[in-house]
Structure 1
Amino acid sequence: MFWGAPPALWQAAFFLVPLCFLIAMTFWSVRNFRLAPDSTLANWNFILTAGFFRNAYVYTFWLSALTALIASLAAFPAAYTLAYKVSPVTRRLMIFMLVVPFFTSYPVRIYSTQIFFSPQGIINTVLAPLGLGSLQVLNTPTGTVVGYLVLTLPLVVLLQTFALSNVSRILIEAAHNLGCGRFRTIWQVIIPSARIGLIVAGTFAFVLAFGDYVAPTYLGGSRPPTLSILIADQVKSGNNWPRASVVAATMILTLMVVMLVMIALAYGRRKGRA
């Protein structure tokens, strides 16, 4: 209890208390552009019944789920190579290279991505002599997903690498001795054994993408808006913090449900096992 008290107090002071204040603010009113403590459900009724909120919610959830899927699939070959195919020295070097992007501010990385995908950027400059036309990525959902991957992919590779590295080599050798090929061993031995880490990696990708504001703003063009952009729009529109708090509370609730479902999927027993 002694050693656990500092982080518990930290979480209470900087997460639970602000969260309770956020929930309370959803019932407040805005009068003459000023917040007024109240106990009204008008903010919830307005946001939850608004078509723009439903569209933004579905759009944000879909892009986040797509990002988690793409990041998980794209990261697996790299993680498998780092876990089983390279020397320990190379593995440490590559892990260090995956950590390096986190030394740089995320908005800076997004601005750098704009240089690659802008109409006169590096990629279109290379494609022009080939006669392939201009690649339109900025101000599209594709641009938003690219920004999400810039944020999440290095982390997913790291988490998958650690998960695969912890799979017992005895199980892999036993599978080979019983006649399993490489792909069957991956599918029936390695992936089930590393299931928890793989699911956690995908969940982290979803959580980070779901709440991101930078990528949909600077790469996606804010149209259509995601939930994070919707929060900013509500604040800018008449200083309506209560409605913005409703959107934020909905996002937090969604992430909690998604995480509980994914944890149950990761730690639940598989069929056919005692």
Structure 2
Amino acid sequence: MAHGRPTKRRDMFPAAFILPPLVWQASFFITPLVFLVWMSFWRVKNFRLTRDFVTANWERIYNAGFFYDAYVHTFTLATVNALVVSVLAFPAAYFLAFRAGPKVRQLAIVFLVTPFFTSYLVRIYSLQIILAEHGIINSALGLVGLGPITMLSTSFATVVGFLTLTLPLVILVQLLALSQVDKRLMEAASNLGVPPFEAVFKVVIPSAKVGLIMAGTFGFLLSFGDYVSPLFLGGSKPPTLSILIADQVKSGNNWPRASVVAVTMVVTLVAVLLLMTSLAYAKRGKK
């Protein structure tokens, strides 16, 4: 009996560290999500929320063509951003992981972290100056007799905003994944006469598959729910789901319909996260 109590205390010690994150998730994610689902069945009467249990909000949103247009547009933009940011981030992450020295790597990490200490909204406003019809890019093009090119209020500008948001994070996640790759595998491939470019696809990418897939997934998740870039760079035309939520709230204070859109977004994000996680660990699980 005397030896049993210390063992129980040691077993409960890790639980003391697990409990706070669980409480946090339950308080600020699960509980609001449950309330959001519940609110989607309320109704608006005389511009005031009324507690009820009706399915009219789900029927109205799911039977509306503008909802499916916004959903496809949002999903497409997020997918494009995930692919583009993954491709753009990989050379930088590869250089930092395999070619750069420790000091260069540390300095690069500082520069990659710095954007997270600045306002995302301010960065988007600065992009307006760069992408505007009389902005920096078009002014430079005008010097060589080109332009102006319309970039603001387009899907291109929205994706540029998404890249501003996600590129530093994706590079850091890819760098972490590539840093775990055994460099002896690269040396063995070189000794066997495998060209460096081919070794990247046959050795590096398969070895860092989990981290690379999750990095791209983060790029999708962050851009799928973003509101700032579609509004200030994309011009809300066509609207994304985040803008659609704001429109539903502004239109007659219709929080229940906005809740339907929000719940749909959350379900989509969770489904994509589970799908990509299973894809990342697929082969490892089989082994």
TM-score normalised to structure 2 length: 0.93
* Runs of 5+ consecutive residues of structure 2 not aligned to the other structure: 1-14
Aligned to 2:52: 38
Is it true that 1:253 corresponds to 2:285 in the alignment?
A: no
The alpha carbon displacement at 1:82 in A equals 0.9
Aligned to 1:161: 175
User: Residue by residue, what CA displacement relative to the aligned partner does 1:121-152 show, whole Å, maximum 9, x if unpaired?
Assistant: 11111111101111211001111111111101
Amino acid at match of 1:207: L
User: Residue by residue, what CA displacement relative to the aligned partner does 1:165-189 show, whole Å, maximum 9, x if unpaired?
Assistant: 1100111111112221101110010
Aligned to 1:189: 203
Aligned to 1:10: 24
Aligned to 2:93: 79
Amino acid at match of 1:229: I
The alpha carbon displacement at 1:5 in A equals 1.4
Give the whole-Å Cα distance in 1 for the aligned partners of 2:57 and 2:152: 34
Give the whole-Å Cα distance in 2 for the aligned partners of 1:99 and 1:3: 26
- Summarize the alignment of residues 119-138 of structure 1 with structure 2, pairs less than 5 Å apart: 119-138=133-152
Amino acid at match of 1:196: V
Aligned to 1:221: 235
Give SS of 2:16's match.
coil
Aligned to 2:110: 96
Is it true that 1:234 corresponds to 2:248 in the alignment?
A: yes
Q: Which runs of 4+ in 1 moved over 6 A?
A: none
Shifted more, 173-182 versus 109-118: the winner is 173-182
Give SS of 1:212's match.
coil
Give the whole-Å Cα distance in 2 for the aligned partners of 1:183 and 1:143: 32
Give SS of 2:82's match.
helix
The alpha carbon displacement at 1:270 in A equals 6.8
Give the whole-Å Cα distance in 2 for the aligned partners of 1:86 and 1:16: 42
Give the whole-Å Cα distance in 1 for the aligned partners of 2:97 and 2:41: 51
User: Residue by residue, what CA displacement relative to the aligned partner does 1:179-229 show, whole Å, maximum 9, x if unpaired?
Assistant: 211011100100000001100100000000000000000000001000000
- Summarize the alignment of residues 141-156 of structure 1 with structure 2, pairs less than 5 Å apart: 141-156=155-170
- Output the aligned Cα RMSD: 1.2
Is it true that 1:263 corresponds to 2:269 in the alignment?
A: no
Tell me the number of residue pairs that the alignment of Structure 1 and Structure 2 aligns. 273
The alpha carbon displacement at 1:95 in A equals 1.1
Shifted more, 261-270 versus 26-35: the winner is 261-270
Aligned to 1:170, which of 167, 184, 187?
184
Amino acid at match of 1:254: T
% identical aligned pairs:
58
Larger Rg: 2
Aligned to 1:139, which of 143, 153, 161?
153
Give SS of 1:35's match.
strand
Amino acid at match of 1:71: V
Give the whole-Å Cα distance in 1 for the aligned partners of 2:224 and 2:17: 33
Give the whole-Å Cα distance in 2 for the aligned partners of 1:237 and 1:115: 31
* Runs of 5+ consecutive residues of structure 1 not aligned to the other structure: none
Give the whole-Å Cα distance in 2 for the aligned partners of 1:205 and 1:124: 28
Aligned to 1:24, which of 38, 55, 60?
38
